[in-house]
Structure 1
């Protein structure tokens, strides 16, 4: 197989992998550029207003404490260096249509060729998934002013153990951005 055909084949076979990598996005964060984050050592959690999903709220709160403690912060109820609160929402997301296009190229002996094919999946069960977005806010305890915010989301079909693990992983990814590393 000559170099051009080999390059074409590699490019075509790489398309599905590149599309999968493009589907996930990193967590986002923003912060007060003038705030000095270096002396922060202790935190206290502030529960948000009432929620209609106490299971998710408890999971998020536990995940926040675990992630911050793993990072070396100490949880204390009074006189903490910073306050942490959170919010979350669940939205419906249409599942993928199941339509795909396949491209291929190959050779056999002295012959070579290319092909294009399509397939359509027939959805079984629900045609929507759920997306849970989690937002974590860090506040200055003296002024109650927002000093850092991070958010991310994940997709799930059912609750239970899988959703609990996704919640934990998502909170950890968000808080990996805290405190912000200011560029010199």
Structure 2
């Protein structure tokens, strides 16, 4: 029973890694059709430098696909990306044994036990902010959160899935891709 429950938990957590939770917000007065270039104001730091570079490359690729051009400095939009991680825990309690007397209506004693297992896991969040370079006002924010997988291949897949979902309806006002 414990092995089955552990397997189900592992499947649920791995499903979270492939389907990140994404939120986006945009300034309704921002004219995204006037933006053609962007510059990096802040690239992600901390953690693996390979993952940081994959995030930067992934954002660059998605903005390029939307018709934007990277400018070394002075772009129409300044992009800042940050990564944050936190530890979360779940508690799983399993009850086993039998209870004599049902719900106490026979006056019997409960003869069972319970086992509680603590599962600790990391949650990673990617935050991407965009600012109008002329006004220095925020125009867009996107966040993608997911359970951090334990293998580099799964981390890379989670980064790609998060970026795909984050930029699916970018710029604001465009329909999300199926």
1:46 maps to 2:41: yes
Match of 1:134 among 126, 136, 150: 126
Q: Is the 2:20–2:161 contact (alpha carbons within 8 Å) kept by the matching residues of 1?
A: no
Q: State the match for 1:28 in structure 2.
A: 23
1:153 maps to 2:148: no
Q: State the match for 1:114 in structure 2.
A: none
TM-score normalised according to structure 2 size:
0.65
Deviation at 1:74, TM superposition (A): 1.7
SS of aligned partner of 1:127: strand
Q: How far apart, in 2, do the equivalents of 1:150 and 1:35 lie?
A: 15
Deviation at 1:94, TM superposition (A): 2.0
Q: Is the 2:25–2:142 contact (alpha carbons within 8 Å) kept by the matching residues of 1?
A: yes
1:175 maps to 2:167: yes
Please give the root-mean-square deviation of Cα atoms over the aligned residues, in Å: 3.3
Q: How far apart, in 2, do the equivalents of 1:75 and 1:35 lie?
A: 20
Q: How far apart, in 2, do the equivalents of 1:25 and 1:52 lie?
A: 19
What does 1:108-147 align with in structure 2 at a 5 Å threshold?
Answer: 127-147=119-139
TM-score normalised according to structure 1 size:
0.63
Unaligned stretches of 5+ in structure 2? 1-11, 95-113
For the structure 1 residues 90 and 81, does the alpha-carbon distance in structure 2 shift closer, same or farther, using more than 3 Å as the test? same
Q: State the match for 2:106 in structure 1.
A: none
Aligned residues: 142
SS of aligned partner of 2:144: strand
- Of residues 71-80 and 165-174 in structure 1, the stretch that sits farther from structure 2 once superposed is 71-80
